[in-house]
Amino acid sequence: MTSNGFSLSKVATAFACVRTEDGDLSLREYTQAYYELNKFFPLLGRLMGFVASDVTEKAEVLMEYVDSAGEPYRTIQSMIKHEVDNNLTIQKSKASGSRTLLRLHRALDFIIQFFENVVECKTNSLAGVAFQAYSNSLAQYHSWVVRKGVQMAVYMLPYRKDLIAKLGEEESDVVCEIKSLADLMKPIYEETQRLYTEYKLHELP
């Protein structure tokens, strides 16, 4: 566990609870898992500033829906269906749950790809693998100015060995945990991706 409380095993435990007994995705558990995952972003320095600064706000919006709106927001599946059926996805008075979740969903794509790249990385520099993960995920939603900023910021990332040292374990153990965590998060990402495709919600403003 790092000084800020981040633990790969705690994140893995949190994401393992997302799948409900009937196979749906618990919105509460997904949001709680993101609270744990958010502790990882500061370990990457400035690169993740554009993500980390927004994650807590989005997670709090979702948790407010979970706590106040009841059954329709029990799972990701029920939330999206409820908001689509009631024309709530683009409401102006408050960001919808579907729109809010979409931002976290996109960031999850980045972190999964980044984790996979860290596992496969053969060099000590993480700049290339981080920018590759960013280019294949979040970059398509950002302006040219933000993309250029990230391209420069990746060179401020800690070296691979230093990142692993921050996690406080042997390299082989860390790499194994990172791979396992990516493998655990990927089906959750893919199911959420399928739902947004089914309901045609990928372009929510």
With tokens 């999206």, the residue in question is 80
What was the pLDDT predicted at 153? 82
| Cβ–Cβ < 8 Å for 38, 55 | yes
Is the alpha carbon torsion for 110, 115, 116, 122 positive or negative? Answer: positive
Domain boundaries, the chain: 8-198
Segment among 24-28, 99-103, 161-165, 196-200 with least mean pLDDT: 161-165
Residues 6 or more apart from 107 whose CB is under 8 A from it? 51, 55, 138
CA 30-32-34 angle, 5° bins: 70
Query: Residue 96: phi, psi to the nearest 5?
Result: -70, 160
Segment among 41-45, 110-114, 157-161 with least mean pLDDT: 41-45
pLDDT at 16 over 80: yes
Fold of 8-198: Glycolipid transfer protein, GLTP (1.10.3520)
| Cβ–Cβ < 8 Å for 85, 201 | no
* DSSP letter assigned to residue 159: P
Q: Where are the alpha helices (DSSP H) in 86-170?
A: 97-120, 127-135, 144-153, 160-166
pLDDT at 169 over 80: no
Q: Average of pLDDT values for 190-203?
A: 96
- 75 by DSSP, 3-state: which? strand
Global model pTM greater than 0.85: yes
Widest Cα–Cα separation across the chain: 51
Residues 18-35: tens digit of each pLDDT: 999 999 999 999 999 999
Task: Report the share of the chain in percent with pLDDT over 70.
Answer: 94
What was the pLDDT predicted at 40? 87
Q: Average of pLDDT values for 75-98?
A: 92
